[in-house]
Chains A and B, each alone.
Chain A
Amino acid sequence: MKIIPFSISAFVCILLVLVFGTKLILPAPLAVLLSPQHGVWQNAEPADVNYSMDLSFPQLKSKSEVYFDDRLVPHVFAENDEDAFFIQGYLHAKFRLWQMEFQTHAAAGRLSEIMGDKIGSLDVLNKVDRYFRRLGMGYSAEKSLRVIEADSSTRMMCDAYAAGVNAWIQSLTRSQLPLEYKLLGYQPEAWSNLKTALFIKYMAFDLAGGESDFEFTAAKNALSKIDFEALVPIRPDSLDPIVPKGTVFDAPGVVVKAPASADSLYLNFMKDTGATFPVLPMKPDKENGSNNWAVNGKKTRSGYPILCNDPHLGLNLPSLWYEMQIRTPHYNAYGATFPSAPGVIIGFNDSCAFGVTNAGRDVRDYYAIQFRDASRTSYLYNGSWRQTEFRIEHIKIKGKPEFTDTVAYTVFGPVIFDDTYANRSNDGKSYAVRWKAHDPSNEVKMFYQLDRAKNYNDYLEAIKNLHTPGQNCAFAAKNGDIAIWCQGEFPAKWKRQGDFVMPGTDSSYKWQGMIPQSENPHMLNPERNFISSANQFPADTTYPYYLGGSFPNYRGWIINKRLYQMADITPQDMMDLQTNNYNVFAEMARPVLIKNMNEAAFNADEKKYWDIFKEWNLRSDTGETAPVVFSVLWDFLEKEVWTDDLGRIKTTAVPYPSSLLEGILRDSAFKFLDNINTPQKETLPDVLAAAFKKAVPVIKKAEADGKASWAKFKDTHISHLTKLPALSRMHLPIGGGTHIINATKADHGPSWRMVVSLTPETEAYGVYPGGQNGNPGSAYYDSFIDTWANGKYYQLWIMKKGDVADKRVKFKMMFSN
């Protein structure tokens, strides 16, 4: 042996192995990523992949078949419920495992465990994990899990589902792991029912977590009562509520009374103590909402009802939704499902169709807590010191020691902000959070019952299980019924209760009861022959409870206007309505803007863009320039009007989007137009001219950059959950926007579009911006996005037992035990 050359070459070899195998450059070593038999090459699925296979699991009770069509939508034929849910779990995991784990890790405040405490500039530990834990996400999931598991049907559903997910996980070898595990350098863990409960709480966060109580409190301190009411009115003018104006409501079953101290301690405007308030590290998108409607047989060409729903949520890859059909001897359901939970969520069966929009009610309030001392072991409540309960959160951090957060729990709920966590307040206050999601509930039961509902009564029994997040549940049946319930378990509040932070040193500001379920606004077979909701107020001011919350009103207004006019409706008409880009907000604003714009003072650019705006057909279509002009102008107009009055409050929650529009429509001498920092009194023409002067250079630059057409300006994109552009779909050619039925913003919009005609042979259409396979290396990763962007739909194939030999069947999975 030649020692020296041997040593050198051996040393070099080992050095290479170490360099290629180091985690110092990327979370996963380069060689592990690129090794063809282990790494990401293994995720590069052949374009002609064949999913047909025979599978056998001892957990299954009998045989089942799954037929995939060419869109990779599985049609599951099972002999019993357990097997159906096992297979659903298996398929969800097979195609979307990483997404399921990532979502539920986030909900549990466990992102630091897999991603480290910081990613770039994002402080994962403090802004995500500690926040979610302090908000009580894990705590509330555990409470709900007990209820879910106490019910035999939902226990069965979740157990079978989890068993299916775990069957898939156990079959995985390291080289078969999804791409993201390899890139991020970790492995999946076992699935549990708790994760399903956590996912539901995550949806509750997204949908029932949109309050702005701290911001409103800051605004209350800085504004007079009259000014606050003008900016945050209890009802906007142009409201067409879900349940029409004039509906008579029963006398309230729970009579609430504001505490005696409310006027002095709570509704005390313009205190302006200079107090600052905590800022929530993360808020759900304020447009989290949706459209739904149903028209009955008197309005349709077929004589049978049509139900439509498009939920508006953050647009991500993999998509929140997974399309599938589940057929058992008891029911046949088709629709959008949630990877992480069993059941069909928005869809239809052989008797009826169902869909939801967000209720948007404020079910999360804050109470100012007075601890006795820095130990936080007791707090003042009803005149004595009450003992705190502590919950210790152990937050594991990748590559670092564990972080321990000791959270104080009070009679209201967890103390989310105090000296030990992110308290920006300068008067040492601590805040407990009372969130309806903390109350145990079993939403899984709703999915169970809805999927097999045969009529209105079944639907009503099913939705009674929905406590949080409250949803406006639309229903249509083949027997002709249409209905909507603004369903949830909502606190019965006195006027403005919960809009601001409340005193927490006694019980007088607690929620005094829950609104009885039967008193939720609802409609069954109304005279106007349609029901609809688009997140607007459920009812007008005659409703005997205070409706705090966030309620955009424009989509509901335009949807109802159209539905009143329409007749002889076909499914295509409904698809056209869902993808409609008409901008009713611009329609309302344009006349008053034109009236108050001094065109004589225009330069060439200003004239050019103003003419485009004047001649606009009011549709925010992909190629139009006018929506760009209007959008930029309106943004500058809002800044021009509000900055002087509200700049010091630093919040976008105040005022409502409708406040400025309605202010200038009602009265062109709208008080806030004046810039309080200048000696002269500005008028609408002044402010408008100033805003337009600032807007035009921005529009001009957009034009120079080739972005002066609406789709390019808006730049809609569907991002991978890690936000990596390489795994995302960018620059999508789609129009629409806020206040428009086609509510597609930059990264938020219709995450599922569905139109169901309840004819004897159901005729249904659907599409979502994603694909059935969550693997970025698969052809099925983003296969629906172009169809969705173009406003097109797929006809949903409701497969029957006899269709086994149909040429639409592309793959077949046979399950047995």
Chain B
Amino acid sequence: MKFAASILLTALLSFIICLYMDWWAIAIIAFVVAILIQQPPLQSFLTGFIALLLLWGGLAWWINMKNEGVLAHKMAVLLPFGGSAFLMILVTALMGALVSGCAALAGSYARKKK
């Protein structure tokens, strides 16, 4: 229950804060949520990781679908994705997931008592 709630909260707050701040604000959110909702370190990491994997991966996938792949097809050639829109979505998702996961991990350790 804590796990699911913290994933949801991380994803939602990350989405909201990115409406007003730059992309790295997701680290702040993941860190704060991990402090507010105490979980074992691995679980916190997974919270941040999964939340952004779903948020960024989901957003990118949704946008790409509505766009009918027009831009991703071009960007995936320009950027080192070998023309694969899927790879571009995956890298997008992983980037957010890793940053958020590490920030959540740090939050978990910050809160953790010996």
A-chain residues with CB within 8 Å of residue B91 when the two chains form the complex: 34
B-chain residues with CB within 8 Å of residue A657 when the two chains form the complex: none
A-chain residues with CB within 8 Å of residue B95 when the two chains form the complex: 20, 30-31, 34
Say which residue of B60, B75, B98, B111 sits within 8 Å of A16 (CB atoms).
B98
Interface residues of A in 1-47 (CB under 8 A from B): 1-2, 5-6, 9-10, 12-13, 16-17, 20-21, 26, 30-47
Encode contact with B along A774-817: 1 for CB under 8 Å, 0 otherwise. 00111101000000000000000000000000000000000000
The reply to whether A41 and B102 form a contact with Cβ atoms under 8 Å apart is no
Closest CB in chain A relative to B71 CB, distance in Å = 3
Question: Does B9 count as interface, using CB distance less than 8 angstroms?
Answer: no
The reply to whether A9 and B66 form a contact with Cβ atoms under 8 Å apart is no
Are A43 and B71 also in contact (CB < 8 A) when A35-B56, A38-B23 are? yes
The reply to whether B66 and A34 form a contact with Cβ atoms under 8 Å apart is no
Q: Provide the bound-state CA to CA distance between A13 and B70, in Å.
A: 33
The reply to whether B68 and A47 form a contact with Cβ atoms under 8 Å apart is yes
Best-buried of B27, B41, B102 by chain A (most CB within 10 Å): B102
Interface size class on chain A is 35 or more
Say which residue of B22, B59, B106 sits within 8 Å of A13 (CB atoms).
B106
Question: Does A600 count as interface, using CB distance less than 8 angstroms?
Answer: no
B-chain residues with CB within 8 Å of residue A34 when the two chains form the complex: 60, 88, 91-92, 95
Say which residue of B22, B72, B99 sits within 8 Å of A44 (CB atoms).
B72
Q: Provide the bound-state CA to CA distance between A48 and B64, in Å.
A: 13
Question: Does B4 count as interface, using CB distance less than 8 angstroms?
Answer: no
Question: Does A727 count as interface, using CB distance less than 8 angstroms?
Answer: yes
Question: Does A726 count as interface, using CB distance less than 8 angstroms?
Answer: yes
Are A2 and B112 also in contact (CB < 8 A) when A13-B27, A44-B64 are? yes
Closest CB in chain A relative to B72 CB, distance in Å = 7
Question: Does B1 count as interface, using CB distance less than 8 angstroms?
Answer: no
Q: Provide the bound-state CA to CA distance between A41 and B92, in Å.
A: 10
Q: Provide the bound-state CA to CA distance between A17 and B30, in Å.
A: 13
Say which residue of B59, B78, B102 sits within 8 Å of A726 (CB atoms).
B78
Interface residues of B in 47-101 (CB under 8 A from A): 55-56, 59-60, 63-64, 66-68, 70-72, 74-75, 77-79, 88, 91-92, 95-96, 98-99
Q: Provide the bound-state CA to CA distance between A737 and B109, in Å.
A: 70
The reply to whether A37 and B70 form a contact with Cβ atoms under 8 Å apart is no
Say which residue of A36, A40, A727 sits within 8 Å of B56 (CB atoms).
A36
The reply to whether B66 and A48 form a contact with Cβ atoms under 8 Å apart is yes
Say which residue of B22, B41, B63, B113 sits within 8 Å of A36 (CB atoms).
B63
The reply to whether B109 and A5 form a contact with Cβ atoms under 8 Å apart is yes
Q: How many residues of B contact A (CB 8 A)?
A: 43
The reply to whether A777 and B67 form a contact with Cβ atoms under 8 Å apart is yes
Best-buried of B66, B71, B79, B99 by chain A (most CB within 10 Å): B71
Question: Does B24 count as interface, using CB distance less than 8 angstroms?
Answer: yes
Interface residues of B in 1-51 (CB under 8 A from A): 15, 18-19, 22-24, 27, 31, 41
Question: Does A724 count as interface, using CB distance less than 8 angstroms?
Answer: yes
Are A21 and B24 also in contact (CB < 8 A) when A2-B109, A776-B71, A777-B67 are? yes
Q: Provide the bound-state CA to CA distance between A19 and B105, in Å.
A: 19
The reply to whether B92 and A1 form a contact with Cβ atoms under 8 Å apart is no
Q: Provide the bound-state CA to CA distance between A48 and B70, in Å.
A: 13
The reply to whether B78 and A727 form a contact with Cβ atoms under 8 Å apart is yes
The reply to whether A44 and B71 form a contact with Cβ atoms under 8 Å apart is yes
A-chain residues with CB within 8 Å of residue B24 when the two chains form the complex: 17, 21, 31
B-chain residues with CB within 8 Å of residue A12 when the two chains form the complex: 102
The reply to whether A10 and B15 form a contact with Cβ atoms under 8 Å apart is no
The reply to whether A13 and B99 form a contact with Cβ atoms under 8 Å apart is yes
The reply to whether B67 and A37 form a contact with Cβ atoms under 8 Å apart is no
Closest CB in chain A relative to B92 CB, distance in Å = 4
The reply to whether A41 and B63 form a contact with Cβ atoms under 8 Å apart is yes
The reply to whether A46 and B67 form a contact with Cβ atoms under 8 Å apart is yes
Q: Provide the bound-state CA to CA distance between A12 and B96, in Å.
A: 14
Q: Provide the bound-state CA to CA distance between A724 and B92, in Å.
A: 22
B-chain residues with CB within 8 Å of residue A183 when the two chains form the complex: 78
The reply to whether A40 and B102 form a contact with Cβ atoms under 8 Å apart is no
The reply to whether B67 and A13 form a contact with Cβ atoms under 8 Å apart is no
Encode contact with B along A641-679: 1 for CB under 8 Å, 0 otherwise. 000000000000000000000000000000000000000
The reply to whether B71 and A17 form a contact with Cβ atoms under 8 Å apart is no
Q: Provide the bound-state CA to CA distance between A725 and B63, in Å.
A: 23
Are A777 and B71 also in contact (CB < 8 A) when A2-B114, A46-B66 are? yes
Best-buried of B66, B74, B79, B113 by chain A (most CB within 10 Å): B74
Q: Provide the bound-state CA to CA distance between A724 and B75, in Å.
A: 11
A-chain residues with CB within 8 Å of residue B79 when the two chains form the complex: 26, 30, 33
B-chain residues with CB within 8 Å of residue A26 when the two chains form the complex: 79
Best-buried of B59, B70, B91 by chain A (most CB within 10 Å): B70
Smallest Cβ-Cβ distance to A40: which chain B residue: B75
Smallest Cβ-Cβ distance to A10: which chain B residue: B106
Q: Provide the bound-state CA to CA distance between A47 and B63, in Å.
A: 10
The reply to whether B22 and A17 form a contact with Cβ atoms under 8 Å apart is no
Say which residue of A1, A13, A41 sits within 8 Å of B112 (CB atoms).
A1
Smallest Cβ-Cβ distance to A34: which chain B residue: B92
The reply to whether A35 and B18 form a contact with Cβ atoms under 8 Å apart is yes
The reply to whether A9 and B70 form a contact with Cβ atoms under 8 Å apart is no
A-chain residues with CB within 8 Å of residue B15 when the two chains form the complex: 37
Smallest Cβ-Cβ distance to A14: which chain B residue: B27
Closest CB in chain A relative to B68 CB, distance in Å = 5
Best-buried of A44, A47, A48 by chain B (most CB within 10 Å): A44
Additional A-B contacts beyond A13-B31, A45-B67 (8; CB < 8 A)? A2-B114, A5-B109, A35-B23, A40-B75, A44-B72, A45-B71, A727-B74, A781-B70
12 A-B contacts (beta carbon < 8 Å): A1-B109, A1-B112, A2-B112, A5-B109, A31-B99, A35-B23, A38-B23, A39-B23, A44-B66, A45-B71, A727-B78, A781-B70
Going nearest first, the 3 A-B pairs with the smallest beta carbon separation are A777-B71, A13-B102, A36-B59
